[in-house]
Amino acid sequence: MLRAIAGTARDLGRLQDIAAVLLRYGFGDFARRLGIALHWKESGKPVRLEGPQRARQALQELGPAFVKLGQILATRVDLFAPEWIAEFEKLQDQAPPAPGAEVRAQLTEDLGGAPETVFAAFAAEPIAAGSIAQVHRARLADGTEVAVKLRRPGIVPVVEADLRLLARLAEMLEQGFPDLARLRPREVVRQFTRTMRAELDLAAECRNAERVAASFRDRPEIVVPKVYWDWTGERVNVQAYVDGTPSRDPEALDAAGLDRRLLAHRGAQAMLKMVLEDGFFHADPHPGNLFYLPGNRVAFIDFGMAGRLSERRRDELVQLLNGLVGRDADAVVDILLEWAGAAQVDAEKVALDVDAFIDRYHGLPLGELRMGAMLADLTALLREHQLALPPDLALVLKACVTLETYGRELDADFDMVGEAEPFLRAATLERFGPASLAKRGWRAGRTLLELAAQLPRDLRELLRSARSGKLQVHVDLTSLHKFGNQLDGAANRLAIGIVTAAFIIGSAIVMTVEGGPTLFGLPLFGLLGFLGAGVAGVWLLVSILRSGR
């Protein structure tokens, strides 16, 4: 099954590395079902851990692209059970610093001069090093402290090779593992590929940061580092250095005289605004990307992973959250079935389970509702019915759960539902306001007018094709196509079996005839016939074994 991958010779070495890691961590059967050739001598000592732990360690060992993939999978609370999510969340892209000579050479090329000549001061030792990039502290000529982030030298070819392999493996997963098709592996890999390539472009990270900064132009309590474009490009960016208190250090927050309740409120308001109002948000708000500054300001850094929500998706999200907060089971079911798409779903059973889910929270005061718990229960319901969220919404739900967790670390009485309610109310009013209705009506009317204008031409083309005999109707029946392939294979085996039997009978007859050339004292043509029968028999046996039946 992996002949398509084998055609890409430059990836074969990397493929064998992946196979060895899979085998070592107990995923040999999975690799075999994908058709990967395994070499036991290369696997090393097998690792004995639970499934989630083995998966996490295998991803960690496979390198940058797979670590990032694990971080994306950690957002898919709709697809994986909590124990898997917990392990994926442990994936850190920390790595040893890149060789100093290579870093200096690349940085000199990107900056147009040696770092010591471009900056008033430059720290050769990085303050942070990840699998994709590392960060150095520096100072500009005017005394401004900055963070210089540079892409690791030589990382792009490795990542691109892994992305090609992941794309092909995703295709084979959908074909070879029908039970995993609901996880939409190709869609997950497409989303991951976009995210990964965006992270490789350090200038794109800065564009994301400036887009968010523009949204909070009138909100000085929300800080996004300034970008210095004179030294920013695809492989390096320079941003203002944020010297704040880490988000998960309560003692340091108290020592700095910061108001933890106010910080929780401002952080939640900022994320909700990004998601529900702007449709463009920081998709990775983990503790390392969140700092608190004097004056109870909240700073977001590292916008390499950003989420985007279309207007339609925001409407669906608002409808879902309104249904959860307002205990409207019908609204929740409608959205879930809309997201299910063409998947085979028992709508009646989904409705019953959602109604029971909503009833579980009935009568509970808003102040006691826990959005994280509600979303966790909802995603468990999705997994039970083999439903999957659209990838863009998976990032949102993960961000909401993470946000509530951080909010409660700052303030034990943090109320995520209360924080979200004004945004939901405003979004609902906007959705059904006169301006929004008029806009949607105009859009629908324009579409209808365009269809009406094109209808005569389309009908004329249809009739012309029918008169000329060019009109064709294609019916694609996947099940019949698969059955036809199976029937064709069975017919081939039957034909080979008949030919093999003919060889055996004919050779037996020839062996009884005297005269003619001999080999080892036996008729040559009889021996050749038996040899052909043997080859055909071995082919037939291998074919039957490979079919698995």
Which among 34, 18, 6, 37 has a CA at the least distance from the CA of 175? Answer: 34
Which among 135, 94, 142 has a CA at the least distance from the CA of 120? Answer: 142
User: Percent helix, strand, coil in the chain (nearest 5)?
Assistant: 65, 10, 25
Q: How many helices (H) and strands (E) does the chain have?
A: 23, 13
The amino acid occupying position 322 is N
H or E element that contains 138: strand 133-139
Which one of the listed residues 284, 302, 315, 415 is annotated catalytic? 284
Which among 223, 243, 225, 409 has a CA at the least distance from the CA of 298? Answer: 223
Q: Give the bridge partners for 134, in sequence order.
A: 129, 150
3-state secondary structure of 145: strand
Instruction: Answer for the pair 507, 536: CB distance below 8 angstroms, yes or no.
Output: no
- The alpha-helical segments, DSSP class H, found in 81-184 are 82-89, 100-111, 115-118, 155-176
Q: How far apart are CA 165 and CA 391, in angstroms?
A: 20
Cα 385 from chain centre: 21
Q: How far apart are CA 300 and CA 360, in angstroms?
A: 36
Instruction: Answer for the pair 336, 350: CB distance below 8 angstroms, yes or no.
Output: yes
Instruction: Answer for the pair 161, 196: CB distance below 8 angstroms, yes or no.
Output: no
Structure tokens at 238: 């320079």
Q: How far apart are CA 22 and CA 66, in angstroms?
A: 12
Q: How far apart are CA 37 and CA 370, in angstroms?
A: 48
The amino acid occupying position 396 is V
The answer to whether 284 is a known catalytic residue is yes
Q: How far apart are CA 84 and CA 56, in angstroms?
A: 9
Q: Give the bridge partners for 280, in sequence order.
A: 308
The torsion region of residue 151 among left (phi > 0), alpha (psi -120 to 50) and beta comes to beta
299 phi, psi to nearest 5 deg: -110, 130
Q: Provide the annotated active-site residues.
A: 284
